[in-house]
Amino acid sequence: MKIVIGLTVSSSGGNGHATLWRGLCRALVAAGRRLDEAAEWLRMLGGRYVRTGLSWADSFRPDAEAWFDRQMRALAEFDVTLTFCFTPEHRGVQPHHANPPLELAGYADFCARMVRRYVTGGPRCGSGTEPIGREVVSV
């Protein structure tokens, strides 16, 4: 897996490689399907590139890291562009997921924690012997 790290404020044009994954996820979620099925469909459709986000807001939910681990394991065979997104309402300038954080340090800590966990060899995924990320490209 190659992981590209990008901090995004909003989705930009020209992300065709991500469109298939996002559309597929929306369709499968609407049909009550699960993450593993979405990854299987992407595999069957010949997808190679995926952009996904780890939500700072979601990190405050119970079992958030277990969900993040599952998400990253499901995408381990793809080239992943990883974004960090969504301010928790209680940490934003105003209570909305698209507002900037009150304190940048909290957001930076979340990003650093996720990079350590999924890029630089934190918890092992898959077989339990290899870190998720092997090659990192920072933008």
Tens-place pLDDT, residues 101-124: 999 999 999 999 999 998 876 554
- Is-contact 123 69, C-beta < 8 A? yes
Closest CA to 68 of 54, 49, 81, 78: 54
Report the pLDDT value the prediction gives residue 90, as an integer from 0 to 100: 93
Tens-place pLDDT, residues 57-79: 999 998 899 889 988 888 888 88
